[in-house]
Amino acid sequence: MKYETNPPDAASLMMSARSFGNYDLPGALADLIDNSIKAGAREIALTCRFSDGDPEIRVRDDGHGLSGQELRDAMRPASSNPLAERSPDDLGRFGWGMKSASFSQCARLTVVSRRDGELTGCVWDLADVDAWRMGVLDADEIADLASPELLSKDGVEVIWADCDRLSENGSVTQAEFNALIVHAGNRLALIFHRYLSGEVRGRKLTLRLNNRKIEPVDPFYRDHEATQQLEAEPLEIGGRTIDIQPFILPHYSKLLPNQYDQLGGEEGFLRNQGFYVYRNHRLIISGTWFRLLRHGELSQLVRVRVDIPNALDHIWKITIDKSDAQLPAVLRNRLRQIVQGLSRRSARVFRSRGGRLDRAGTTSVWSRYARGGEIRYAINREHPVIEALLEAGDDEQKLTANAALKVIEQAFPVAAFTQDAAREPDAIHQTLTDPLVFRADLNAALPMLLMQAGGDFAALEALLRVTEPWCEAWGATEAILKEKGWLNA
């Protein structure tokens, strides 16, 4: 046998690299930020300019930078072996990130580096990579292109031009571009929240997006007193430890509307329940149960932090864009147990809020009568909404309303309910879990309640404070009244 060299065609290989992984803009930026963190950066500046429809995106850090030769090596596709053991703080794996992340968004990648004062600049332009031709900038070109900060301080500046992949059709309007940037900022605030808050490495990372500091968003809301941090469950796999830390978030009645919106994120609580998997403290996956559990209403408050070290990449099958991983089989059963216990506890947070019977000082919807060995449940005719129903309309309508209540009480499905309560208490879903519906229902009832309170705001507040269901979620009720200006702040 003889051997011939048979290298790939540069242009074709680089074109296919554009579709490695499943990058969106925040994912691609995150991959560059990983590199900056690895290089010891304390400050990372993202600059995104629309530039009349020819957007340019820059990521500049103040890390240790790269020498001329190191930059040339780093520009090379597959610049390192994915099987090599990485230092525990290394967020990289494949030797592809900088290239594949960049080309997922742009066609022209320029990297300028300053190390020990020495400046180097290299360019891959996908329109012109025949025979692996890479551009190397001269001193004047670097001075023109690089930002003043980089010219005077060691670090790396990555510049994306010809950004033809920010949208499906290749171009974006100013409004679309702005929306992309806002979304990217929100994602990065979450992805790197532990670095931004100073939880990692004992110092804070500063991340700026167009000069605005990105503040960390903690998906577990550990600062809030009503957040429940449950027992941690460390798991040993292959001689390494995976930390599993479940949290139950505060019920919406304990959150202000803006806190609720932030915690719910762009897709809301329901979508964002589940595991939050961190690789070296950097969020890689969120809001999935790995098909161990449905995304249920009653488990919407559960979020489980899973910390995996990069030494376990092989068993998680980490993807190139680090946006996905698969749950190793050894973990599956263990996690299933943990998860089931958790959703039960979340359900309890909801259930404990609704319909406690005959609590002293409150007006409940149901009353329970126990006399002479007999128990009877009845609808409380003095509850303001029921009262309004019974008072509305002419005599005939009043009679009908009263008859309707009686029918409902008598037909209370005792047998079915008892069975469900015995067999599947956690599945019973009678309480309201959606704050938007809560808000809409209260809004609908408010005019009538205000009338019952004699048109007096103070009396209305006093009424709601002791009346179900509003007293059970007083925080949410109060916020709605305040918005209307019906409450003295």
Give the binding site for ligand ATP (CB under 6 A).
31, 35-36, 39, 61, 63, 65-66, 74, 79-80, 92-99, 156
Q: Output the smallest distance, CB 278 to ligand ATP, in A.
A: 16
- CB atoms near residue 138 (< 10 Å): 8
**Cβ 211 to ligand ATP shortest distance, Å:** 20
Q: What does the per-residue mask of binding to Mg ion show for 24-63, with x meaning CB under 5 A?
A: -----------x----------------------------
Which partner, Mg ion, ligand ATP, none, binds residue 156 by CB below 5 to 8 Å per kind? ligand ATP
Q: Are 448 and 460 in contact (CB under 8 A)?
A: no
Omega cis (within 30) before 469: yes
Whose Cβ is closer to ligand ATP: residue 36's or residue 286's?
36
Binds 296: which of Mg ion, ligand ATP, none (CB < 5-8 Å by kind): none
**Nearer to Mg ion among residue 33 and residue 442 (C-beta):** 33
310 binds Mg ion (CB under 5 A): no
DSSP type of residue 76: S
| Two structure tokens written together for 291 | 């098909």
- CA angle 207/191/275 to nearest 5° reads 160
Provide the minimum distance between the beta carbon of 417 and ligand ATP in the complex, in angstroms, as a whole number. Answer: 55
Residue nearest to ligand ATP (CB): 97
Q: Report what 39 binds from ligand ATP, Mg ion, none; CB cut-off 5-8 Å by kind.
A: ligand ATP
Judge whether 205 and 195 are in contact, CB under 8 Å: yes
In angstroms, give the least distance from the CB of 23 to ligand ATP: 12
In the complex with Mg ion, the residue whose CB is nearer, 99 or 305, is: 99
196 — phi, psi (to 5°)?
-65, -30
CB nearer Mg ion, residue 110 or residue 380: 110
- Cα dist from 343 to 294, 296, 300, 301, whole Å: 10, 9, 8, 8
Angle at 452 between CA 451 and CA 455, to 5 degrees: 45
Q: What is the size of the binding site for Mg ion (CB under 5 A)?
A: 3
- Integer Cα distance of 122 and 136 in angstroms: 5
Contacted entry of Mg ion, ligand ATP, none for residue 63, CB cut-off 5 to 8 Å set by kind? ligand ATP
User: Which of ligand ATP, Mg ion, none has residue 61 at its interface (CB below 5 to 8 Å by kind)?
Assistant: ligand ATP
The residue (of 98 and 244) whose beta carbon lies closer to ligand ATP is: 98
- Closest distance of CB 65 from ligand ATP, Å: 6
CB contact burial 344-368 (16+ within 10 A = b; e otherwise)? ebbbebbbebeeeeeeeeebbebbe
Question: Which residues 79-118 are close enough to bind Mg ion by CB under 5 A?
Answer: 92, 97
Residue located via tokens 């090599």: 84
Nearer to ligand ATP, 108 or 254 (CB): 108
Burial of 57-73, coded b for 16+ CB within 10 Å and e otherwise, reads bbbbbbbbbbeeeebee
Closest CB 97 distance from Mg ion, rounded Å: 3
Shortest distance in whole angstroms from residue 284 CB to ligand ATP: 12
Selection from Mg ion, ligand ATP, none that 164 binds (CB < 5 to 8 A by kind) is none
If the CB atoms of residues 203 and 371 are measured against ligand ATP, the closer one turns out to be 203
User: Which of these, 163, 168, 174, 145, lies nearest to 102 by C-alpha position?
Assistant: 163
Q: What CA–CA distance (Å, rounded) separates 13 from 99? A: 12
User: With respect to ligand ATP, which residue has the nearer C-beta, 101 or 172?
Assistant: 101
List, in sequence order, every residue forming a beta bridge with 370; answer none if it has no partner.
Answer: 375
Give the strand pairing for 56-61 and 43-49: antiparallel
Q: Which is nearer to Mg ion, 79 or 245 (CB)?
A: 79
Per CB under 5 A, residues contacting Mg ion are: 35, 92, 97
